[in-house]
């Protein structure tokens, strides 16, 4: 800490404001003087930095966390060492931590709280699928940006802390959120993170820690031996299903918890979809006015008029369905036979004395509710079940629209590729089908109306995946054909054939991965031939920039010259120097504006280079803005000039 205070500059980072400090070090708001952006710079304490084994574990695991690129995970920009000071440069997110929301007992709606945890689970699912376990999920490690985006922070740090246990025998971590196996040095699995998520969700719902005590030992004793208070005994208005989800996540036996973050996320999504029903909201949430968030208000005011008219038409249709349903129930009641009135003096069968001459009203026959449905019935089986008698025509039309949208999404490959929107769409439709068969018309109509746009989004997402897979196969084909090394050619050809087979089976995600694997084999072998370009000039320049990135990844100046024939000797030497100091290079060129004039064109292009520095082994990222000029040759477009405008 003393050394940190003396530093005003760490490597290329200017230290501006102290954000916070903890057991492992301090976090500064810092300015990257090379890329010219603000970052969150974490400086590790000298205690950890002096231990060579801890240093190596930290560098290795921080690199592993650095490869995680997900909207709900903090991005690691750089890690390294300057004057003996280990540092990590991370994405700087303006907002507040979940711990701040809990400390102020922020009046968040239940839906919003679930949305936050669903985003946390989405990020953790991605990390777990890439072999990274967080180990220290807690409210202060979950940040909510000013736009409402959740970011999970401090990946890899918890494992570094646990590495210090063997030296001192002390348990390092956050006891209130640690799973029992962390306390007992048991096996760490993804279920370990889910226990911590359960603790976080419990505290976010009740503003009370599930395990709390005066000392660390009392907290750890509770974690190992004591069950927390049932969720609904602390917050009685919460749904019973949510209590079951939290209890399962916080089960002390790892095998009895959710085994994947996707499982827990799906359970919360089902509860979240149920809360979208008007009947559920009025039962579970207190009535209060909530103003529209500013981003939503901007979205409404800037939406084209025809979209607003279409939305109002859908809402009007729902209102008519509800009105028709309510009028139908009134009509049924009006058509029922009038209660029979006993004649004066006539005997009446009753268990209580009746005054002579007083009318006696017969009790109506109680309505037998429909038998309860098993909510675990799969949706495909549920939609094939017989429909209720005398189904409202308007409600039947809404159901037909939702099922038609589902068929279109399935035909596009949305279910096969498990696109994000299809999960919510299927849950909404499942909720609607249950409501229809249980006589809850409002819930059914709301679910059908809500499911249609989600299925349409799923179809769009699937079509985008199909296009990406098709482009990946098209780009990989000439690369595979250009490989001359027999072993590499065989491996690349196998991956490309697998990509074709997966594409035919509509498994677009795996097809794209297989095609990119084939392309990487060729690029690693130094093969990066130009791809076929479309007729449209702007689309052709887009393909050219993709080829340029692939040529940079191959680290071959000869491949660059195929796309940039007029490259000067000085430029070629600069690229050679860059290639020598970078490994595992990943380049990207994104055009901002493209101006076409006949057979020439110009563009402003944002360049991004991610690589591992050969000298330090640290992951680095460099960005630049380029002014590029192009010319159309006999068949294709080529680069004629590149000039860096700013870095």
Catalytic residues, by residue number, are 136
**Tokens (6 digits) for 608:** 């991004």
120-129, 215-224, 381-390, 465-474, range with the lowest pLDDT: 215-224
Q: Are the C-beta atoms of 146 and 178 separated by less than 8 Å?
A: no
Whether residue 404 has pLDDT greater than 90 = yes
Q: Are the C-beta atoms of 231 and 238 separated by less than 8 Å?
A: yes
206 pLDDT tier (thresholds 50, 70, 90) = very high
Q: How far is CA 125 from CA 76, 119, 133, 256, in A?
A: 18, 10, 10, 18
How far apart, in whole angstroms, are the C-alpha atoms of residue 160 and residue 53?
Answer: 10
Three-state DSSP class for residue 144:
strand
Say how far residue 602 (Cα) sits from the centre of its chain. 36
374 pLDDT tier (thresholds 50, 70, 90) = low
How far apart, in whole angstroms, are the C-alpha atoms of residue 492 and residue 489?
Answer: 5
Alpha helix segments (H runs only) across 505-616:
508-524, 537-554, 557-563, 569-580
pLDDT of residue 56: 64
pLDDT of residue 58: 63
Give pTM, 2 decimals: 0.45
Strands 25-32 and 150-152, bridge-based pairing: unpaired
Average pLDDT, the chain: 79
Does an H or E element contain 14, and which? strand 13-21
pLDDT of residue 344: 44
Whether residue 578 has pLDDT greater than 70 = yes
**Tokens (6 digits) for 163:** 């590495």
List the domains of the chain with CATH numbers: 1-92 (3.30.200.20), 94-285 (1.10.510.10), 536-647 (3.10.450.50)
Strands 95-97 and 142-145, bridge-based pairing: antiparallel
163 pLDDT tier (thresholds 50, 70, 90) = very low
Q: Which residues contact 322 (CB under 8 A, 6 or more apart)?
A: 441, 442, 445
pLDDT above 90 covers a percentage of the chain that reads 27
pLDDT of residue 1: 41
121 pLDDT tier (thresholds 50, 70, 90) = very high
Most confident of 157-166, 240-249, 471-480, 530-539: 240-249
End-to-end CA distance of the chain: 32
* pLDDT mean over 248-275: 91
DSSP 4-61: HHH-SEETTEEEEEEEEE-SSEEEEEEEETTTTEEEEEEEE-HHHHT-HHHHHHHHHH
Whether residue 412 has pLDDT greater than 80 = yes
Q: Are the C-beta atoms of 157 and 24 separated by less than 8 Å?
A: yes
pLDDT of residue 308: 60
Q: How far is CA 356 from CA 334, 360, 361, in A?
A: 30, 10, 14
Nearest Cα neighbor of 115 from 232, 239, 265 is 265
Q: What is the pLDDT of residues 336-354, one digit of tens each?
A: 444 444 444 444 444 444 4
Strands 619-632 and 637-646, bridge-based pairing: antiparallel
* pLDDT mean over 122-143: 88
pLDDT above 70 covers a percentage of the chain that reads 76
**Tokens (6 digits) for 557:** 């100046």
pLDDT of residue 372: 57
SS (H, E, C) 358-402: CCCECCCCCCCCCCCCCCCCCHHHHHCCCCCCCCCHHHHHHHHHH
325 pLDDT tier (thresholds 50, 70, 90) = low
How far apart, in whole angstroms, are the C-alpha atoms of residue 260 and residue 256?
Answer: 12
65 pLDDT tier (thresholds 50, 70, 90) = low
Say how far residue 401 (Cα) sits from the centre of its chain. 28
Q: Are the C-beta atoms of 582 and 560 separated by less than 8 Å?
A: no
Q: What is the pLDDT of residues 420-467, one digit of tens each?
A: 788 778 888 988 888 888 888 888 888 899 899 999 999 999 999 998
Does an H or E element contain 621, and which? strand 619-632
**Tokens (6 digits) for 440:** 């809850």
pLDDT of residue 345: 44
Q: Name the maximum alpha-carbon separation found in the chain.
A: 119
């Amino acid at each position: 800490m003393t050394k940190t205070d003396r530093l005003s500059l760490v490597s290329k980072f200017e230290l501006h404001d102290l954000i916070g400090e903890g057991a492992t070090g301090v976090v500064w708001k810092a300015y990257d003087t090379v890329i010219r952006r603000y970052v969150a710079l974490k400086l590790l304490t000298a205690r950890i930095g002096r231990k060579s084994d801890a240093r190596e574990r930290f560098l290795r695991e921080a690199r592993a966390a650095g490869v995680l690129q997900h909207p709900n995970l903090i991005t690691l920009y750089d890690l390294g060492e300057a004057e003996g000071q280990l540092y990590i440069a991370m994405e700087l997110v303006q907002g507040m931590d979940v711990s701040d929301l809990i400390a102020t007992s922020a009046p968040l709606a239940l839906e919003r709280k679930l949305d936050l945890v669903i985003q946390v689970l989405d990020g953790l699912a991605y990390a777990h699928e890439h072999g990274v376990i967080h180990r220290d999920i807690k409210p202060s490690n979950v940040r909510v940006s000013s736009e409402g985006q959740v970011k999970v922070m401090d990946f890899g740090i918890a494992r570094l802390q646990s590495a210090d246990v063997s030296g001192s025998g002390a348990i390092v971590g956050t006891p209130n959120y640690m799973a029992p196996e962390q306390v007992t040095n048991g096996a760490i699995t993804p279920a370990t993170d889910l226990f911590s998520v359960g603790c976080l969700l419990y505290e976010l719902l009740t503003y009370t820690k599930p395990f709390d005590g005066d000392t660390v030992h009392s907290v750890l004793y509770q974690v190992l031996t004591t069950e927390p208070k049932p969720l609904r005994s602390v917050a009685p208005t919460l749904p019973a299903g949510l209590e079951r989800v939290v209890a399962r996540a916080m089960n002390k036996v790892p095998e009895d918890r959710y085994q994947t973050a996707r499982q827990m996320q799906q359970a919360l999504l089902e509860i979240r979809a149920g809360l979208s029903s008007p009947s559920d909201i009025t039962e579970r949430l207190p009535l209060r006015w909530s103003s529209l968030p500013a981003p939503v208000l901007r979205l409404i005011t800037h939406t084209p008029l025809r979209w607003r008219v279409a939305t109002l038409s859908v809402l009007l249709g729902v209102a008519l369905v509800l009105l028709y349903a309510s009028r139908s129930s009134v009509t049924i009641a009006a058509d029922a036979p009038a209660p029979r009135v006993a004649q004066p003096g006539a005997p009446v069968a009753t268990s209580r004395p009746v005054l002579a001459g007083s009318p006696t009203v017969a009790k109506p026959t109680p309505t037998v509710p429909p038998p309860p449905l098993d909510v675990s019935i799969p949706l495909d089986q549920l939609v094939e079940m017989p429909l209720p008698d005398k189904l409202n025509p308007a409600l039947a039309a809404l159901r037909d629209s939702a099922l038609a949208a589902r068929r279109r999404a399935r035909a596009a490959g949305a279910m096969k590729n498990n696109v994000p929107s299809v999960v919510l769409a299927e849950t909404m439709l499942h909720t609607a089908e249950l409501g229809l068969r249980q006589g809850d018309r409002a819930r059914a109509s709301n679910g059908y109306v809500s499911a249609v746009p989600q299925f349409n989004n799923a179809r769009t997402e699937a079509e985008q995946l199909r296009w990406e897979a098709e482009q990946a196969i098209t780009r990989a084909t000439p690369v595979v054909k250009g490989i001359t090394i027999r072993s590499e050619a065989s491996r690349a050809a196998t991956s490309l054939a697998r990509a074709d087979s997966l594409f035919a089976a509509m498994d677009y995600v795996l097809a794209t991965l297989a095609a990119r694997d084939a392309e990487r084999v060729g690029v690693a072998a130094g093969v990066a031939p130009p791809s076929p370009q479309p007729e449209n000039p702007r689309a052709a320049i887009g393909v050219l920039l993709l080829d340029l990135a692939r040529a940079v990844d191959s680290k071959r100046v000869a491949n660059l010259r195929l796309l940039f024939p007029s490259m000067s000797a000085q430029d070629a030497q600069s690229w050679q120097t860059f290639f020598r100091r970078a490994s595992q290079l990943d380049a990207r060129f994104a055009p901002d504006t493209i101006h076409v004039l006949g057979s020439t064109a110009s563009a402003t292009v944002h360049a991004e280079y991610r690589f591992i520095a050969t000298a330090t082994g640290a992951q680095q990222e460099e960005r630049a803005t380029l002014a590029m000029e192009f010319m159309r040759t006999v068949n294709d477009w080529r680069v004629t000039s590149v000039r860096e405008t700013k870095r």
